[in-house]
């Protein structure tokens, strides 16, 4: 479980997903990095090189450990990626799109590791087999929130796990308090495309089955957030933002308005999350718990 130092320079194969739009705060990323895991900022969904540079600087002021930046390729991103490379951030995670081999090589030349994200849990053994032929470490993502999920992923051949929902409910997360509390209270999620259809078409998502979502879960495919009423306001990456009904913007700490009617992304493991904890504690509990399970299983096998 310590092999990540040789691969990416981290102590553990635990990745904090680049929660958006700005839930993965510098405070959260730094706390994860300080605990020996991989913390990922989320790049803005528009070309905002100055804002991203500030986020990187704020994170570096809080940790001397390496960390990364996640970039959604479905949005404008060239200037943001340029900042990541210029700042020589340890990891560049790219997803929802193809990343040119030329830029991958450029990142490698600058000492930046490029990680492509896929949802791997259901296909994990097959993916591991294919990746092993090329000596590529696999990170499992989807529904993993505790040590049992970590051990299961390792048993199936993954070198680490990526968790999103568990870190939304971290003390340092920039998620709105109501969002965090809903994660603790609720146990059911649903795969849907109700939210953010106009802004990010073709990107289904898993959300908490809140009363609002249950009421609107069968929304007509022709309806989008564009013509809906404004239900709140927020500041996201230094920009003032109106939040319309069915918008895909998860509420952060700056959000005001009808929070209960906003999207709240969550994975299938949400029912296992019972408390809001410091990110460092989440990492340590995950690693220590996994080691204990592995030791116990070994003892049981011998006896």
Looking at residue 231, what is its pLDDT? 98
For residue 197, give the nearest of 265, 249, 247, 251 by alpha carbon: 247
Looking at residue 298, what is its pLDDT? 67
CATH, range 4-174+275-302: 3.20.20.70
Across the 303 residues of the chain, what is the mean pLDDT of every consecutive 10-residue run? 58 90 96 95 95 98 95 92 94 82 73 58 73 81 91 90 96 98 96 94 93 96 95 96 96 98 96 97 95 80 55
Looking at residue 202, what is its pLDDT? 86
For residue 277, give the nearest of 26, 28, 13, 22 by alpha carbon: 28
Beta bridge mates, 42? 70
Question: What residues does CATH 3.20.20.70 cover in the chain?
Answer: 4-174+275-302
Alpha-carbon distance 102 to 106, whole Å? 6
Instruction: Say how many C-beta atoms besides its own lie within 10 A of residue 152's C-beta.
Output: 18
């Amino acid at each position: 479980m310590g092999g990540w130092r040789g691969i990416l320079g981290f102590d553990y194969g635990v990745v904090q997903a680049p929660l958006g739009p700005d839930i993965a705060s510098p405070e959260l990323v730094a706390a994860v990095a300080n605990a020996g895991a991989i913390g990922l900022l989320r790049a803005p969904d528009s070309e905002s090189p100055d804002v991203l540079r500030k986020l990187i600087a704020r994170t570096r002021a809080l940790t001397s450990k390496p960390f990364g930046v996640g970039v959604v390729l479905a949005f404008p991103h060239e200037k943001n990626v340029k900042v990541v490379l210029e700042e020589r951030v340890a990891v560049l995670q790219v997803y929802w799109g193809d990343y040119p081999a030329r830029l991958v090589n450029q990142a490698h030349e600058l000492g930046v590791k490029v990680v492509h994200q896929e949802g791997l849990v259901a296909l994990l053994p097959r993916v591991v087999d294919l990746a092993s032929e090329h000596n590529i470490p696999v990170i499992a993502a989807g529904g993993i929130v505790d040590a049992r999920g970590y051990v299961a992923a390792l048993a199936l051949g993954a070198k680490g796990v990526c968790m999103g929902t568990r870190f939304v409910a971290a003390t340092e997360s920039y998620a709105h308090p109501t969002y965090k509390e809903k994660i603790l209270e609720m146990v059911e999620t649903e795969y849907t495309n109700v939210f953010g259809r106009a802004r990010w078409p073709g990107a289904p998502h898993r959300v908490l089955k809140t009363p609002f979502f249950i009421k609107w879960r069968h929304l007509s495919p022709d309806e989008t957030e564009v013509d809906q009423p404004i239900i709140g306001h927020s500041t996201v990456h230094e920009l003032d933002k109106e939040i319309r009904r069915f918008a895909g913007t998860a509420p952060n700490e700056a959000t005001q308005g009808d929070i209960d009617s906003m999207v709240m992304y969550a994975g299938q493991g949400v029912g296992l999350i019972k408390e809001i904890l410091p990110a460092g504690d989440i990492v340590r509990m995950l690693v220590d718990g996994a080691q204990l399970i592995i030791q116990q299983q070994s003892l049981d096998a011998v006896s």
